[in-house]
Amino acid sequence: MTKIEEFIEVVKQGKYVQAHEILEDDWRFYRKKGLKPEEKAIQGLINGATALALFFIKKRPTSYEKVWKVFEKYEHYLNIANLENIEKYIEAKELLLKINSTIKK
Q: pLDDT digit string (tens) for 19-74?
A: 999 999 999 999 999 999 999 999 999 999 999 999 999 999 999 999 999 999 99
Range(s) of the domain holding residue 62: 3-98
The pLDDT assigned to 104 comes to 82
Does residue 104 sit within a domain? no
- Residue 73 corresponds to which amino acid? K
Cα–Cα distance, 93 to 66 (Å, whole number): 18
- Residue 62 corresponds to which amino acid? T
pLDDT per residue as tens digits for the range 61-104: 999 999 999 999 999 999 999 999 999 999 999 999 999 999 98
Does residue 105 sit within a domain? no
Cα 90–chain centre separation: 10
What is the tally of structural domains in the chain? 1
